[in-house]
Amino acid sequence: MAVRVGIAGVSGYAGVDALRLLLAHPHAQIAALAGGGSAGGAVADSWGALAGLDLPPIVPLEGAGFGEGLDAVLLALPHGVSGGWVARHRHLLDQGVVIIDLGADFRLRDPAQHAAVYGAPHAASELLPRAVYGLPELHREQLRGARLIANPGCYPTATALAALPLVEAGLATFLVSDCVSGVSGAGRKAGPRNLYCEVHESVVGYGLGGSHRHAPEIEQILGRQAIFTPHLVPMSRGMLATVTCGLSRMVTAAELRAAYAERYAGHPAVVLRDEPPATADVRGTGMAHVFVTVDPARGVAQAQCAIDNLGKGAAAQAVQNLNLALGLPEMAGVVRVPLLP
């Protein structure tokens, strides 16, 4: 029998990507959709490309019973909105409903840090201990049967998958993560940073000086200091993290590749590459393509991870987590093959 899934925020980029994946999921059924300004309309009012599909109407997030009678809820909402909703609907967790927040509200363990980073008191801090951080490559066993899942940020996912084997082996003296992201990372709302004329044929850094909200999340995962620089590049979707790491002892590229292969054995969303991956290699998929090498003259390792910010960086990772939480095959509904060329 299919699991009944609801998506909140389906008029946005992460929500509609979750919808795309779940429509092709062999064990899931789209049972409810919710939103804010889009509520009261049809999905095709927000996404003309989806005209002709038989989908539930978009109901208001509050007051219309969204969440009731479902097996799982995916919240693709701005931070603060999802935390408040979970606080008001905590009875769903007790009923066994899986709630996956694609936003930031349950990622940082420390509510004071969350308040400092996101500029408002945490809306549901008493629920933080119940949340599992949804990076399957780190917490797969805790995710099995979990009911409240904090889906990781896109930059933290890409940085962590590039860096984890180095950090876990105690090899990293310093760690620098330079990342690029497609413009969909900023969401569908209009703003100067996602207007065509301002992003086309231009690259810009942002969040320098440790001020990006994903910086503490990256350090929480890695358990160490990391210097993180994000850049916006003129593509719709895709993310590449380049992690440069000082080596505490010299290792060869072949030794590192063997260590990465061992670390990621049994992790179906990670593919080790013999060459630097391109974002096009993972576009529309839930895969993370990882490459590692050594610069012996400078005593550093360099690792790269390419993901789709909306795939392994958001919706596909949420589907992977949903599968783990509900005991479904981990990669059911997670696309592995990009559109080529």
Ligand X SMILES: NC(=O)c1ccc[n+]([C@@H]2O[C@H](COP(=O)([O-])OP(=O)(O)OC[C@H]3O[C@@H](n4cnc5c(N)ncnc54)[C@H](OP(=O)(O)O)[C@@H]3O)[C@@H](O)[C@H]2O)c1
Cite the DSSP H helix spans in the chain: 13-23, 43-46, 81-88, 90-94, 111-118, 136-143, 154-168, 196-199, 214-222, 253-263, 316-326
Which range of residues in 13-21, 86-94, 199-207, 291-299 is near ligand X by CB under 6 A?
13-21
Q: How far is the CB of 63 from ligand X (least distance, A)?
A: 11
d(CA 272, CA 253): 13
246 backbone dihedrals φ, ψ, rounded to 5°: -65, 140
Half-sphere exposure of 322 (CA within 13 A, CB side): 33
User: Looking at 30, 59, 72, 81, which residue binds ligand X (CB under 6 A)?
Assistant: 81
160 touches ligand X by CB under 6 A: no
How many chain residues touch ligand X (CB under 6 A)?
31
Which range of residues in 73-81, 86-94, 163-171, 331-339 is near ligand X by CB under 6 A?
73-81
Closer to ligand X by Cβ: residue 109 or 298: 109
d(CA 293, CA 46): 44
Here's the x/- map for ligand X, 88-127, by CB under 6 A: it reads as: --------------xxx-----------------------
Closer to ligand X by Cβ: residue 47 or 291: 47
User: Among 189, 211, 193, which Cα is nearest to 203's?
Assistant: 193
Please answer whether residues 312 and 282 qualify as being in contact, where contact means their C-beta atoms are separated by less than 8 angstroms: yes
Closer to ligand X by Cβ: residue 172 or 319: 319
Q: How far is the CB of 233 from ligand X (least distance, A)?
A: 13
35 touches ligand X by CB under 6 A: yes
Between the CA of residue 201 and those of 206, 208, 232, 283, 304, what are the distances in Å? 17, 21, 11, 20, 24
User: Among 126, 106, 222, 233, which Cα is nearest to 179's?
Assistant: 233
Closer to ligand X by Cβ: residue 45 or 168: 45
Query: Which residues from 272-331 bind ligand X, rule CB under 6 A?
Result: 309-310, 313-314
Q: How far is the CB of 183 from ligand X (least distance, A)?
A: 9
* 3-class SS of residue 57: coil
User: Looking at 3, 6, 11, 306, which residue binds ligand X (CB under 6 A)?
Assistant: 11
d(CA 67, CA 55): 16
User: Looking at 7, 32, 72, 79, which residue binds ligand X (CB under 6 A)?
Assistant: 79
Q: How far is the CB of 244 from ligand X (least distance, A)?
A: 24
Which residues lie closer than 8 Å to 15 by C-beta, 6 or more apart?
7, 8, 9, 35, 74, 76, 102, 315
154 is catalytic: yes
CA angle at 156 for the pair 339 and 195, rounded to the nearest 5°: 60
User: Looking at 4, 27, 130, 188, which residue binds ligand X (CB under 6 A)?
Assistant: 188
Applying CB under 6 A, the residues found at the interface with ligand X are 9, 11-15, 35-39, 61, 76-79, 81, 102-104, 153-154, 184-185, 187-189, 309-310, 313-314
Q: Which positions are annotated as active-site residues?
A: 154
